[in-house]
């Protein structure tokens, strides 16, 4: 979808807030597997669904520009009148956790870890999102043995099939993430399999039903207030949720900055950069714990944020290597295009 609006072309539709690149790099944060509902709609502009609204974001020097679309008028998206300027800014500040000062954290991590210091200079502004817990949980269940590009396509089909239509952009409908009530039908698993979810269909539908009949969306959100270990334990009781998915949700939706998601990507970083014996010979539950504890000891209370920087850097390196190997092959998943 291509959007023609720019801050200079439609100033009445755009607002901005101070946000230097050292605090946030949209291109790094929105494309590195934390979320799957944003796309680069035109060079430097990112469009996606946040809450019940469609947004376009753009960075210009030290400012973050944004516009929000509401329901279509005469077939075209209109500016969202239901949100005032203060509400829009607060939503973005919460989503990007802009109250967390990133440069100070980078300095502390770099002082404690020479490898981080070397990598981070080329990857400023990588911060952890604060996502809706239901959306984050169901999305990350889909990441098992998967690629970012494929996950993104799966989530898009998921939202089109089960989510409420928000508006049209360039004649294409944009949908909200499905509500729990939309996912509790007896045919949900069957419909997900038809959408290409494979074995993940059982876990997505089972977890949605378990939450709807148990904690509820508010109960899941309330895990933000409990200790990390307790939130992780509760999540691991849900269908298809293991240590990695639980840690992703703890970090990116439940305010557990110390959570360190460990997949084969992070396991390789730990072994190659921090000691070959760390985590043992395979990615076992014990290895998850050992690697998480190691990084928490190294980086401190925001260890999950530091890990996100290294993950992003390693992902970009692998994607560049894959592109150099696969030049001329269009529309295929890159071997380096992996997520948490």
Q: Provide the annotated active-site residues.
A: 244
Euclidean distance between CA atoms 340 and 325, whole angstroms: 23
Distance CA 68, CA 82 (A): 10
CB 149 within 8 A of CB 337: yes
Name residue 38's beta-bridge partners: 48
Alpha carbon distance 186, 14 (integer Å): 43
Question: What CA–CA distance (Å, rounded) separates 188 from 193?
Answer: 9
Query: In the structure, how many helices (H) and strands (E) does the chain have?
Result: 14, 7
Cβ atoms of residues 177 and 189 within 8 Å: no
197 contacts: CB under 8 Å, gap ≥ 6: 142, 154, 158, 204
């Amino acid at each position: 979808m291509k959007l023609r609006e720019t801050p200079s072309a439609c100033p009445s539709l755009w607002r901005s807030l101070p946000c230097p690149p050292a605090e946030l790099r949209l291109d790094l944060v929105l494309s590195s597997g934390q979320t799957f509902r944003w796309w680069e709609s035109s060079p430097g502009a990112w469009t996606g669904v946040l809450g019940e609204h469609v947004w376009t974001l753009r960075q210009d020097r030290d400012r973050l520009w944004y516009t929000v679309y509401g329901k279509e008028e005469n077939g075209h998206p209109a500016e969202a009148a239901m949100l005032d300027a203060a509400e829009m800014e607060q939503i973005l500040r919460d989503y990007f956790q802009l109250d967390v000062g990133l440069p100070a954290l980078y300095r502390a991590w770099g002082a404690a870890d020479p490898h981080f210091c070397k990598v981070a200079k080329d990857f400023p502004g990588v911060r952890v999102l604060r996502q809706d817990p239901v959306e984050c949980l169901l999305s990350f269940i889909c990441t098992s043995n998967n690629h970012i590009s494929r996950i993104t396509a799966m989530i898009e089909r998921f939202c089109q099939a089960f989510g409420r239509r928000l508006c049209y952009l360039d004649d294409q409908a944009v949908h909200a993430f499905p509500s729990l009530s939309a996912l509790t039908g007896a045919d949900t698993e069957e419909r997900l399999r038809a959408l290409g979810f494979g074995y993940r269909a059982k876990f997505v539908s089972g977890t949605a039903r378990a939450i709807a009949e148990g904690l509820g969306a508010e109960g899941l959100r309330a895990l933000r207030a409990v200790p990390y270990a307790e939130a992780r334990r509760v999540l691991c009781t849900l269908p298809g949720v293991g240590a990695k998915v639980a840690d992703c949700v703890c970090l990116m939706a439940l305010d557990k900055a110390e959570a360190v998601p460990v997949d084969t990507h992070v396991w390789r970083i730990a072994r190659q950069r921090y000691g070959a014996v760390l985590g043992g010979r395979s990615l076992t539950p014990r290895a998850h714990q050992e690697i998480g504890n190691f990084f928490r000891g190294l980086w401190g209370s925001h260890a999950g944020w530091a890990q996100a920087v290294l993950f992003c850097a390693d992902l970009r390196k692998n994607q560049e290597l894959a592109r150099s190997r696969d030049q001329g092959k269009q529309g295929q998943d890159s071997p380096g295009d992996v997520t948490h």
